[in-house]
Structure 1
Amino acid sequence: MILIISNNNDRTTIQVMRWLSRINKKFICIREDNTFQVKVQNKRIYLESHNSQFFLDEITSIWYRRGGLRFKRHKYENPSVNMHMNEAQHWLEDYVMQTLESKKHINKQSNCHVNKLLVLEQAQNVGLDVPEFYLAENTDNVILGKTITKSITGNVIIESLDEDLGGIMYTKVIEVAEKEDFFITFFQEKIDKDFEIRSFYLNGKIFSMAIFSQNDDQTKIDFRKYNIEKPNRNVRYNLPKEIEEKIRRLMENLDLNCGSLDFMKSGNNYYFLEVNPIGQFGNVSLDCNYYLEKEIADYL
């Protein structure tokens, strides 16, 4: 049986489950409202929540999409006993997670987040071109108009009841110097691109899409500022074989067997930007007729 860990109403998850149903594969999907207890029956470990249960040994493959496997712990009145039992339950949960992740899988809950700075260093180590980057607490050494800034973390969405305080943190060109110091910030050389490339990686296979975002002022710096009225043109694209081989080495070094990678092409150069293990690939699948949801279902 296939185990899927995801969020409620994730469209990609739903598409993959439709393919699994179509090829008559048995699966169970765990969502964020599931909290499991670890139990044993006839020497077999099983997990049970309010609306589902499964034995550990009946899981043949696992896809970690989003969210996470959550556990409910027993609590004890005696503080010392409770501390000891918390540790015991921790190691039991750890055994469950490691057992599941040792099976055939796509992504792991244990490494679903990556450190962008370490990823860029690893990309350089495998020979990929990376725009020069550095950290700074002020703009004293920033070349205005030729430097961009972006979050050190993943995609940042700030929610607030005040519309002026909420929003998404996009990549931005530094045009004006700051007068005061600020929290350590990520800066990177601005590359004048021909177009961008989104590549979906799955167990050594690479599916790429060219995104012609540079012709629209709204999407020129960050294509995530989607122009709904006049969308960017997206087409299938084949990266050079040597770039694809470096991608495979990078993903192996990061212990990732799935993810979305972003590149920029400028002249004859391909500049690596980042990798998102749980990245969006629906548009790559749809616009390029890759049927990536079927690829995932077939692998599972």
Structure 2
Amino acid sequence: MSEKMILICTDVSEASSDVVCSWLQYNNKKFLRISYENIITIKTVFIKDDKVDFLFSIDDTDYHLSDFKSYWYRRSRLKFAPFSVVEYIHEGVDLSNRMNAFLEEEYFKLIEFFQYEINKIAVLNRYEDNNINKLQVLSMARDCGINIPETSILDNAISPDVNQNEYITKAISDFILYDDKSNYFCTTDYISVDGPFSYSLIQKEVKKKFEIRSFFMKGKFFSSAIFSQENEKTKLDFRNYDFENPNRVVPFSMPAWLEERLAQLMQRIGLNSGSFDLAYTHDNKYVLFEVNPVGQFEQVSFPCNYSIHKLIAHEL
């Protein structure tokens, strides 16, 4: 019996995935790496007493779902062959639109079933993890006894009496714009009283001693302290990277009570992997900003020598 493979869904160029794949190659593990550029065509579904299996092709090569022992979703998404429309005329009446609407719904149910079954072998993340609601996470964190920033959602305008230097704003959801040359994404910035505007997340600025990025994987924490406050460019948000003068990043151990509450939060969200962005304040409190469900770990692993890429490869 041939060795089962690892299926990896990630972007064509994704640095963390590249390193994990290098470790898989080093350990002689068989894997198949795909992205949204590869087309999946479902051919047959087998539902029997002892198993469920799929025969499908990726581009021009056939596979069974049972050929894979694990699935790692990292980035991108699975891309399925487009639905094929039909012409249907019954007793002289053209029912093509209605028939195609029905057949398309049937096809989407089949895709949902494929994703349901492949998620059974998902080791760390699923595509659906991207859909967590940041506001719900803040509420859950508060329920778990974790400090969060003072937060409001405002519509239309901000009172001119508000001190712009005490409040910040950031996107409620993930927002990225693309063009041929660049990607644009939202970071954190100070508010402006100019309006009107749509619903916006407003938080009282947390005065930090330093920031914490902690990668969580199946109950284990890999944490780093980021000394972003020493650089004006990164002081408000360390993701405004200063590549000429990068922040100092060192290994950090969070208190056991905080890790226990963060693990409880991940259980409530339904994640077994992800990254936490926190701050340690001048009054010695830990404050959670958000949870990244896919989880940035490269900037934690390399400066702190955690070898997270190697650990993920072993987990797969």
TM-score norm. by structure 1 comes to 0.92
Equivalences for residues 1-300 of structure 1 within 5 A? 1-40=5-44, 44-72=53-81, 73-78=83-88, 79=96, 80-137=98-155, 138-140=157-159, 142-154=162-174, 156-159=175-178, 167-174=184-191, 176-178=192-194, 180-266=195-281, 267-300=283-316
For the aligned residue pairs, the C-alpha RMSD in angstroms reads: 2.1
Q: Deviations over 1:220-251 (max 9, x none)?
A: 00111111221110000000001111111111
Q: Deviations over 1:163-203 (max 9, x none)?
A: 9xx844321123x522x321111100111100000000111
Unaligned 5+ residue runs, structure 1?
A: none
Deviation at 1:71, TM superposition (A): 1.2
Secondary structure of the residue aligned to 1:199 is strand
Deviation at 1:215, TM superposition (A): 0.9
Q: Is the 8 A contact 2:40 2:58 kept in 1?
A: yes
Amino acid at match of 1:17: C
Amino acid at match of 1:103: I
Amino acid at match of 1:233: R
The 1:160–1:81 alpha-carbon spacing in structure 2 relative to 1, beyond 3 Å, is closer
How many angstroms apart in 2 are the aligned matches of 1:142 and 1:129? 23
Identity %: 34
Secondary structure of the residue aligned to 1:112 is helix
Deviation at 1:146, TM superposition (A): 1.2
Q: Which moved more, 1:81-90 or 1:183-192?
A: 81-90
Q: Which moved more, 1:139-148 or 1:18-27?
A: 139-148
Q: Which moved more, 1:224-233 or 1:126-135?
A: 224-233
Secondary structure of the residue aligned to 1:60 is strand
Amino acid at match of 1:147: Y
Q: Is the 8 A contact 1:60 1:104 kept in 2?
A: no
Amino acid at match of 1:18: S
Q: Deviations over 1:111-149 (max 9, x none)?
A: 323211111111111111001101112111744321111
Unaligned 5+ residue runs, structure 2?
A: 48-52, 89-95
Q: Is the 8 A contact 1:201 1:257 kept in 2?
A: yes
How many angstroms apart in 1 are the aligned matches of 2:231 and 2:36? 38
The 1:160–1:3 alpha-carbon spacing in structure 2 relative to 1, beyond 3 Å, is closer
Deviation at 1:281, TM superposition (A): 1.5
The 1:297–1:74 alpha-carbon spacing in structure 2 relative to 1, beyond 3 Å, is same
Secondary structure of the residue aligned to 1:7 is coil
Secondary structure of the residue aligned to 2:193 is coil
Q: Is the 8 A contact 2:37 2:79 kept in 1?
A: no
The 1:98–1:147 alpha-carbon spacing in structure 2 relative to 1, beyond 3 Å, is same
The count of corresponding residues between Structure 1 and Structure 2 is 295
TM-score norm. by structure 2 comes to 0.87
How many angstroms apart in 2 are the aligned matches of 1:167 and 1:104? 30
Amino acid at match of 2:171: S
Residue equivalent to 2:92: none
Q: Which moved more, 1:26-35 or 1:47-56?
A: 47-56
How many angstroms apart in 1 are the aligned matches of 2:110 and 2:178? 36
Secondary structure of the residue aligned to 2:229 is coil
Q: Is the 8 A contact 2:129 2:294 kept in 1?
A: no
How many angstroms apart in 2 are the aligned matches of 1:57 and 1:17? 21
Secondary structure of the residue aligned to 1:214 is helix
Structure index of larger Rg: 2
